[in-house]
Amino acid sequence: MSGIRLYGRYVSLSLQSQMQYRASFVMFALANGLSALLEFFATAALFARFGSLRGWALPEVALFYGMVHTAFALAEAAGRGFDVFHLHVRNGTFDRMMLRPRSTVLQVLGQDFQLLRVGRFAQGLFVLLWGAASLGMRWTAESVFLAVLSVVGGALLFSGLFVLQATLSFWSVEGLEIANTLTYGGVEAAQFPLSIYRKWLREFFVFVVPIGCINYFPLIRILGRGDPLGYPGWAAWVSPAVGLGFFLVSLRVWGVGVRHYRSTGS
Amino acid sequence: MRAYAALLRLRCLLLLQYRVAAFAGICTQVFFGLVRVMIFDGFFRSSSLAQPMSFAHTVTYIWLGQALLGMLPWNGDREVQDLIRTGNVSYELCRPVNLNGLWLSRCVALRSAPTALRAVPVILTASLLMPPEYRLAPPASAAAALAWALTTAGAVLLAAAITNLYSIALLWTISGEGIARLVPPFVALLGGMLIPLSFFPDWMQPLLRWLPFSGLMDVPFRLYLGQLGPGDLAGALAHQLGWAFGLALLGQWLISRGLKRVVVQGG
């Protein structure tokens, strides 16, 4: 069986098991979407008080918000296995995966496909479309293509962060919360245009952990605005590739981690 | 009462063991705080409209919120929830103490000990290491500090009463778990974690003040800032303790109803 088909099996099994508790699934998905939507409500309240944020209006910020949340939701759904991977290290159950003649990445990915993240995805998409509609934006084929590509690139970037977090657990299963700074903190920061932050934070999110690439550069182009930061226009098209690159690099780091793995035994 | 005090002490000692996790948490909180402060900085620089709160006060409010994040009832008592899920809750029923009291003291420990461990370093970092305009300011006065300390204790009790309801809801298994997940987003919004409550529209203010959640963060923080004076202290404490007591009674009633029809899971 090819890797992709095997992964398909994993996903369908995972979906079947989640559908066993339908009522609870629906409520989890609702809660997942709700928490992000309430955050947007708080942002809207601030815009009602202040009018604008450094030249950006609420519908524009809605686009930034929507793109980062849809990307993060995809990564959370698919990358859940890596997010909770430290449990396998702590319990020693990673040994079992290493005995199977398949790549560890495939198996960890296959552990769980969290469909309840559809809640965050749906609200992100809703806020994104609302923003575009209130701006009276005309979607061209190019801008749709760029938006979709960027969301996928963003999902890959966040998945890469989950992989790095999981890799960290080969060395220590404590203090993994530090990774939340980059994942949840990154989502928090990228809900707003990067240009509102201080220089050091901006550059961190462009050159070190390129979360800014998920939405900032593509949206500058889609909105047809000049970049207040003065980055070149082609950055919009490089951004999705940056996500892919980050993901591939984190897989290499994962490989190093796996070689370093020592079972807890038991 | 002595049994509950002993339980509280034991849980606190246990929760204080996770020091590396606490360090990681501190970094996360400082980072989040900084991002939030910068967002507000951007808003304040973009508008000359009169605001319900100054930028300096908002910065202090945000840092206090990050420092005391763990105090918010954003999750339930994991172990009690697992007990209910696995059916081991039947052992709890054998103990010669009131179940509500037992779980409530655990919740007080959960809301206070890990929070205290994180709050001190976050407060120190925010008041000493940040650039001057992003710093956490000291309390408005000695009286404000005292009022803040008292209402923070009240907030812990209130938070514990809410936390306990998440576990109790699990006695109604499936729908209960949904409740335990649906409520925390509202707690974050209505308690003042996302933005200071004063920034919400004016028509919402009476409702926000009446709901229990403002007692978790907003009211203690505004006492700290001196926006509420010592004269408001009695009312604030009455609001917190009234809700805490009411919710604890609700918990008691739900437990006794839940246990009548509880089916212990597992074997």
Please write the tens of the pLDDT for every residue from B17-31.
777 777 888 888 899
Residues of chain B with Cβ-Cβ distance to A49 below 8 Å are 43, 47, 49, 51-52, 199
Residue of B nearest to A174 (CA): B21
Q: Average pLDDT of A231-237?
A: 84
Whether the pLDDT of residue B39 is over 70: the answer is yes
Quick check: A131 and A66 in contact, CB under 8 A?
yes
Window from A260-264, B50-54, B233-237 with minimum mean pLDDT: A260-264
Question: Which span out of A12-16, A155-159, A166-170, B79-83 was modeled with the highest average pLDDT?
Answer: A155-159
The pLDDT of residue B95? 81
Q: How confident is the model at residue A79 (pLDDT cuts 50, 70, 90)?
A: confident
Confidence of residue B176 (pLDDT cuts 50, 70, 90): low
What is the nearest CA distance from B262 to chain A, expressed in angstroms? 19
Query: What does the pLDDT read at residue A56?
Result: 93
A36's CB contacts (< 8 A; 6+ apart) are A69, A119, A120, A123, A124
Domain membership of residue A265 (yes or no) is no
Domain limits at A24? 3-260
pLDDT top residue among B178 and A86: A86
User: Looking up tokens 């809301």, which residue turns up?
Assistant: B111
A156 Cα to chain B: minimum distance (Å): 22
Average pLDDT, chain A: 88
Is residue A129 assigned to a domain?
Answer: yes
> Which pLDDT does position B219 carry in this prediction?
96
Q: Name the average pLDDT for chain B.
A: 88
Q: Determine the residue of chain A that is closest to B182 in CA distance.
A: A31
Tell me the mean pLDDT in the region B49-54: 92
All residues at 6 or more sequence positions from A117 whose CB lies less than 8 Å from its CB, including other chains: A29, A32, A73, A74, A76, A77
Contact call for residues B218 and B191 (beta carbons, < 8 A): yes
Nearest-angstrom CA–CA distance, A253 and B38: 32
Locate the chain A residue with the closest alpha carbon to B49.
A50
Please answer yes or no on whether B31 and A181 come within 8 Å at the CB atom: yes
Residues of B in contact with A51 (CB under 8 A): 46-47, 49
Place of tokens 């909105």: A223
Tokens read off for B156 = 């812990």
Contacts of B186 in chain A (CB under 8 A): 38
Long-range contacts of B121-128, Cβ-Cβ distance < 8 Å, separation of 24 or more:
B121/B26, B122/B26, B122/B29, B122/B30, B122/B33, B122/B63, B122/B66, B122/B67, B123/B63, B123/B64, B123/B67, B125/B26, B125/B30, B126/B30, B126/B33, B126/B63, B126/B66, B126/B67, B127/B63
Short-list A187, A2, A194, A1, CA closest to A76:
A187
What is the C-alpha to C-alpha distance for residues A43 and A197, in angstroms, rounded to an integer?
Answer: 16
| Mean pLDDT across B172-198 | 85
Residue A219: inside a domain: yes
d(CA A170, CA B84): 32
Q: Residues A177, B109, B216, CA angle at the centre, nearest 5°?
A: 80
Q: Which of B27, B42, B46 sits opposite A181 (nearest CB)?
A: B27
Residue to mutate among B29, B38, B45, B217, with most A CBs inside 10 A, is B38
Q: Which of A91-100, B117-126, B212-221, B255-264 has the lowest mean pLDDT?
A: B255-264
Beta bridge partners of A56: A53
Of the candidates A32, A177, A196, which has its C-beta nearest B21's C-beta? A177
> Which residue has better confidence, A111 or B14?
A111
In degrees, to the nearest 5, what angle opens at C-alpha A42 toward C-alphas A38 and A43?
115
pLDDT beyond 80 at A85: yes
Q: Is the pLDDT of residue A1 over 80?
A: no
Contact between residue A172 and residue B20 where contact means Cβ atoms under 8 Å apart: yes
Number of domains composing chain A: 1
Please give the DSSP secondary-structure letter assigned to residue B139: P
Whether the pLDDT of residue B266 is over 60: the answer is no
| Interface size, chain A vs chain B, as Cβ–Cβ contacts under 8 Å | 116
Contact A38 B194 (CB under 8 A): yes
| Residue B195, pLDDT above cutoff 60 | yes
Dihedral over Cα of B47, B49, B55, B56: its sign: positive
- Give CA B163 to chain center in angstroms: 9
User: Would you state the pLDDT for residue B264?
Assistant: 62
Question: Mean pLDDT across the stretch B50-78?
Answer: 92
Task: Return the DSSP state at A196.
Answer: G
